[in-house]
Structure 1
Amino acid sequence: MLEQLMGLIQDHSQDAIVNNPAIPNEHNNDAMQTILGAITGGMQQQAQSGQGGLAGLAGLLGGQAGNGGSGLMSNPIVAGIAQQAIGGLMQKFGLGNSAASGIVAQVLPGVLGSMISKTNDPNDNSFNMTDIMGVMADGKVDMSDVMNIAGKFMGGGQQGGAAGGLGGLLGGLFGGK
């Protein structure tokens, strides 16, 4: 699931991150990783906050929390994710609040909207509620999750074109580049 989520982030980051002079090209993957971490971290916090948290997360992913861009951003779960992403971008890249907020506002609604759409599309099995809840319920993105991603790409995963970007991502996780 994490590799599919990173693919969505890459798809929605062209203008906000890749073409943004405030983020040097050699840090594009790190910026995308920051957003990935905010999304997974925010969802995990929500999942760990008890039954109401799981219900809220299921409602968000089920499309019951406002699918439009502004409606989605007003969801409290999404607002928390956005704040985590903004803080991470400010800290890692020295961006001001408005610059980091602009990046998140350009990327996050598209990524989450696509994720929600794919989760609810019976003809698209790239995201499903069972996998998402399984990753979120274990409470952490740990080494087994990272190894799972790495194993899929080293074994010639189905998304061959995305392997370079994810290889850079994994390199960034372990201090490469």
Structure 2
Amino acid sequence: MFETLMNLVREQSGGAIVNNPAIPNEQNDNTMQTVASSILSGLGQQAQGGGLGSLLGMVTGGGGNVQSSPVTQGVQQHVEQNLMEKLGISPQVAMSVAGAVVPMVLSRLMHKAADPNDSSVDNNSLMGLAGGGGGLGGMLGGLLGGR
């Protein structure tokens, strides 16, 4: 799932990262990798921290309600913090990057998860975010139809 996520970040980060004068070109790859890994860990935190219902809503909605989701807000804050801590990016630039990239990437990711013809993001990947096959992960798997 990380590879799919990384590809989505690359596709969505043109203006926010690559063409951003506040981010040196030699930092573009590090920035994109930090965004992708932060999205993945942020989704895991949201799923484990009580945001499972919102995450499920995003998946079953096919990515349509991503902008207003509390999961998106939490992931966005996680990405901002990691950009500041790991790469020394200023708070304003981190907020700008996260605000531009995270909602678009999550929307595309949830659309892929909801598409039965797209196997790049499967049920097992999403179940892993919520802690594996049992507990919350098992509930997520059951609600998504065991894909």
TM-score range, shorter chain: 0.7 to 0.9
Overall identity of the aligned pairs, in %: 42
Q: Deviations over 1:90-143 (max 9, x none)?
A: 2334333222111111111111111111111222221123322135424xxxxx
- 2:91 paired with 1:97: yes
Match of 2:23 in 1: 23
Structure 1 range deviating more: 1-10 or 84-93: 84-93
Do 1:23 and 1:93's aligned partners in 2 also have CA atoms closer than 8 Å? no
Equivalent position amino acid for 1:79 in 2: Q
Match of 2:7 in 1: 7
Which residues of structure 2 form unaligned runs of 5+? 133-147
Which residues of structure 1 form unaligned runs of 5+? 139-177
What TM-score does the superposition give when structure 2 sets the normalisation length? 0.77
Do 2:46 and 2:75's aligned partners in 1 also have CA atoms closer than 8 Å? no
Give the secondary-structure state (helix, strand or coil) at the position aligned to 1:74. coil
Do 2:2 and 2:37's aligned partners in 1 also have CA atoms closer than 8 Å? no
Structure 1 range deviating more: 97-106 or 54-63: 54-63
- 2:86 paired with 1:87: no
Q: Report the number of matched residues.
A: 132
Give the secondary-structure state (helix, strand or coil) at the position aligned to 2:66. helix
Structure 1 range deviating more: 128-137 or 76-85: 128-137
Q: 1:30 and 1:137 mapped to 2: Cα distance? A: 27
Within 5 A, what are the aligned runs for 1:19-98? 19-49=19-49, 52-63=50-61, 67=64, 72-98=66-92
Q: What do you get for the CA RMSD once the two structures are aligned?
A: 2.1
2:105 counterpart (82, 102, 111): 111
**Shift of the alpha carbon at 1:24?**
1.3
